[in-house]
């Protein structure tokens, strides 16, 4: 989602609250529950849907993988609940600042809120990392800050359009590193 006027541009970042994370959480939970159910039925010498599975080693391994998947699904569910990585990028010409805000893990540093002066912005850079295009903000005296979410699968044309629009708004240079496969 994008909010924009002549003096302020704000881009929302969804973070971990994505449809794919919801689906993986549900799939992991249901699959691990099935493994746990089958493993415990083997322990109590009950037949599992007509299958004759011995507790040692098959049932024990199924319980192990069931617990592993169950805890992984809880972890994914908590990252969705906490909204890890979600936030926004705000570019404010009127008050001459750039604000990068993200939510992190619970604790004293949960809120990551960075302000940078307008005159400290050196430029924008687009780079292809692991077949994903990522937009970076270059700031004087600091490391580059990724502005796009790592999981966003934007095409080169989409990221180029977004980057050129933002570079024009910020009145800075745009450096694009496009790697082509041979």
pTM of the predicted model, to two decimals? 0.81
Same domain, 50 and 119: no
Domain, as residue range, for 153: 2-17+84-177
- Residue 66 and residue 74 in contact, taking contact as beta carbons nearer than 8 Å: no
Same domain, 51 and 70: yes
DSSP string over 16-65 = T--HHHHHHHHHHHHHHHHHHHHHHHHHTT--BTTB---IIIIIHHHHHH
| Token pair in block for residue 34 | 């099935």
> Which residue, chain included where needed, has tokens 């089958």?
38
Looking up residue 117, the CATH number of its domain turns out to be 2.30.29
How many domains are contained in the chain? 2
Same domain, 66 and 88: no
Q: Own/partner pairs for 117-121, CB < 8 Å, 24+ apart?
A: 118/93, 121/170, 121/172
Same domain, 133 and 162: yes
Same domain, 113 and 44: no
Name the region of 97 (left: φ>0; alpha: ψ -120 to 50; beta: rest): beta
Tens of pLDDT along the chain (182 residues) come to 566 678 899 999 888 999 999 999 999 999 999 999 989 988 888 766 657 788 889 989 999 999 999 999 999 999 999 999 999 999 999 999 999 999 999 999 999 999 999 999 999 999 887 778 889 999 999 889 988 876 667 788 888 898 999 999 999 999 988 765 54
């Amino acid at each position: 989602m994008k909010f924009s006027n002549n003096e302020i541009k704000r881009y929302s970042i969804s973070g971990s609250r994505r449809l794919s994370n919801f689906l993986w959480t549900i799939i992991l939970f249901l699959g691990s529950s099935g493994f746990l159910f089958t493993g415990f039925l083997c322990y109590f010498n009950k037949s599992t849907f007509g299958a004759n599975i011995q507790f040692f080693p098959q049932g024990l391994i199924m319980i192990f993988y069931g617990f592993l998947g169950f805890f992984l699904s809880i972890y994914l569910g908590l990252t969705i609940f906490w909204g890890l990585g979600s936030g926004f990028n705000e570019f404010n010409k009127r008050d001459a600042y750039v604000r990068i805000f993200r939510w992190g893990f619970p604790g004293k540093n949960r809120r990551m809120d960075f302000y940078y002066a307008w005159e400290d912005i050196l430029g924008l850079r687009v780079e292809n990392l692991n077949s994903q295009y990522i937009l970076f903000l270059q700031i004087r005296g600091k490391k580059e800050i990724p502005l796009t979410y790592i999981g966003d699968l934007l095409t080169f044309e989409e990221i180029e359009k977004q980057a050129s629009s933002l570079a024009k708004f910020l009145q800075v240079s745009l450096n694009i590193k496009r790697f082509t496969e041979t």
